[in-house]
Amino acid sequence: MTDDDPDRHIRCQDALQAALRELVSAATLAGWSEREVVLAIGDLADKHLRSLDANDNTDTLIAMLRRMT
């Protein structure tokens, strides 16, 4: 699979589907509702994405500063 595959996002989702079902199942067996679990996963994913974006921004700023010196 290449980075320019138009179905790359869907293929990634397919690859993660079974692990997600297992995670949701384990969490519901531990006592949380399925809605709580899915909302928590969404929040965690959002926080992780924001962290990746912040790291990218920091890397860009560092590269700019290095070019200035």
The residue extents of the domains of the chain are 8-68
CB 28 within 8 A of CB 34: yes
Weakest-pLDDT range from 1-5, 7-11, 46-50: 1-5
Instruction: Give the pLDDT confidence score for residue 13 in this predicted structure.
Output: 97
In angstroms, the CA 49 to CA 40 distance is: 14
Instruction: Give the pLDDT confidence score for residue 1 in this predicted structure.
Output: 67
- Residue holding tokens 């320019």? 4
Over residues 7-34, mean pLDDT = 97
- Residue holding tokens 């990634």? 12
This prediction has a pTM of: 0.78
